[in-house]
Chains A and B, each alone.
Chain A
């Protein structure tokens, strides 16, 4: 994509196809899944058949070779219909598949990627712990080397896609070294069903009800050494890399929900009449609609900008953080405006706006909070390369 901001014919077609799928297959049932907190397995499998999970990966590993920006377009369209399914896709691709694609050995790629890219199986990603969230360096889960195995003990929380009927496993960070520093953290592939790996019952959440989220615990869980992903001691750096592109994906998802809020608001403003005329004839409402549309377009451009950098093989760096910060805060703001425009009916669960309002907040938290995004941006501005720990060491010294 050049400065013309024109999508390629393939990108346009991919977006149109995803929009059609989202409108016809996802949107009509999103409210039902939200109410029942059901993980819509059949539709996730259909998304796999459509080719969504392999979209940005090359054909050599079972992908479509359509690039990162195409994936972002797809996420926006799915999120516009249902944020839960969008996060299922985002976590599956950005957190599940991407690290294996990027750091896996030939054997690991061969073993996992074809199934994951086809969407027949899902892979999860476990970084967060009760005591380690934004401060990922505080990871406590241990993986003690013993012969040809690691013995894993610890707990991971809020892990998306970790307990579905098609979950094949999870990549976790764990301390393989003896020290307490950031360097002793490695990434391990743990397959579902491994003895000592337990998946707790699903969380009850404010939003994203149809997304599958669990706490995972590991107790004397033996994992072959061959399941080390990437360099021993390189686990944290790898995860931070994965999170960088993932941030752009969360930003795209946020744009989708924000757009859904605007769509619903436009419809409501033209349908609902008060004082003898539609709401859309009141300037107070017009200004809200214009502000929503402007902020959404700004967010979308930042998503495309960051996505284009990834497609050029460059680091999205500060642009990834800026896109996520801008888009997620815009989405929350738009959901708030949308609910206000809907008035009392927006507070009822009969219309989708209430769901958007509940679903949207977590975008300011997951894969790096808004506060952490600001720290990363500041770290770039201050010449510290986006490292939050350096910023805290120096800034707080």
Chain B
């Protein structure tokens, strides 16, 4: 089975992110990495492909620098990459991004698309489901376990209290949580081999996408303001005055934790 996986190059989340005047994350002049969430998607895709003697294609949309995210997926074991890059894509909202990626997925010939539940920079969490809708594929989201058997896709969908079993026929879109697997390290041989793996770079015209439907021009969504997350209160301090252990135990009992 040919499996497509969505990868995204994002500013290193361990650094301090900055927003520009139009409330967009500053992506230039900062350290960038493969979205840590995507590593779970790549691992999940590799496992499905390995079990079915298939192949993984890593798909991304972004500036040319996003090639590094694709290379990372290639060094982990993906067979090829597809990058959609076009200056007219700048300012695209989540729906426009989904439009572009859906075309790229179609073009790749994949029968299964895997992504993480949401990116670690934008956090809209809507792109994979929108792609599914645009492709007319079922969306199986929040998978903490994934099995593919003879064209049947089965997931355990993480819920607040446990999981739901969800099944669909391929082609399908699956989003995976961080609990689904332990992503492998790229092997050093893999890093060297990634250089010679094919990566297709496409623009809007190659995919037949109307420029008016993407970028600033096609954005139906506008971030009007951004507020910082309210600071958490510092919590309750228990002084070590001899009775602290009892008060701590009482506190935990109150929360029904002990």
Chain A interfacial positions (CB closer than 8 Å to B): 9-10, 13-14, 17-18, 20-21, 49-52, 54-55, 59, 63-66, 70, 74
The DSSP consensus for interface residues of chain B is helix
Size of the chain B interface, CB-CB below 8 angstroms: 14
A-contacting 9-mer, from B98-106, B119-127, B182-190, B200-208: B182-190
Q: Which residues of B contact A52 (CB under 8 A)?
A: 188
Across-interface contacts of A51 in B (CB, < 8 A): 187-190
Whether A10 pairs with B191 at a CB distance below 8 angstroms is yes
Q: Inside 8 A of B194's CB, which chain A residues have their CB?
A: 10, 13
Main secondary structure of the interface of A (DSSP, over half): helix
Bitwise, B226-240 to A at CB < 8 A (1) or not (0) is: 000000000000000
Is A66 a contact partner of B191 (Cβ separation < 8 A)?
yes
User: Which of A9, A13, A18, A64 has the most chain B CB atoms closer than 10 A to its own CB?
Assistant: A13
Task: Tell whether, in the assembled complex, residue A10 and residue B189 are in contact, meaning their CB atoms are under 8 Å apart.
Answer: no
Inter-chain contact count A-B, CB under 8 Å? 47
7 closest pairs, A vs B, by CB? A51-B188, A64-B189, A51-B187, A64-B188, A51-B189, A13-B191, A64-B192
Contact B195 A10 (CB under 8 A): yes
Asked if A13 and B75 make an inter-chain contact with CB atoms under 8 angstroms apart, the answer reads yes
Who on chain B is nearest to A117 by CB?
Answer: B189
Q: Are B186 and A17 in contact (CB under 8 A)?
A: yes
CB pair A13 B185 closer than 8 Å? no
B72 interface residue per 8 A CB criterion: yes
A50 touches B71 (CB 8 A): no
A285 to chain B, nearest CB (A): 25
**Contact, CB under 8 Å: B188 / A55:** yes
Shortest distance in angstroms between B123's beta carbon and chain A's nearest beta carbon?
Answer: 24
Nearest chain B residue, comparing its CB with the CB of A54: B189
Tell me the nearest residue of chain B to A51, going by C-beta. Answer: B188
Contacts of A66 in B (CB 8 A): 188, 191-192
B residues 64-96 near A (Cβ < 8 Å) are: 68, 71-72, 75
Taking CB atoms, residues of chain A closer than 8 Å to B190 are: 51
B72 partner residues in chain A, CB cutoff 8 A: 13
Kindly state the separation between the CA atoms of A17 and B189 in the bound complex, as whole angstroms: 12
Quote the shortest CB–CB distance from B104 to chain A (angstroms): 23
Residue of A nearest to B33 (CB): A16
* Chain A residues whose CB sits within 8 angstroms of the CB of B187 once the complex forms: 49-51, 64
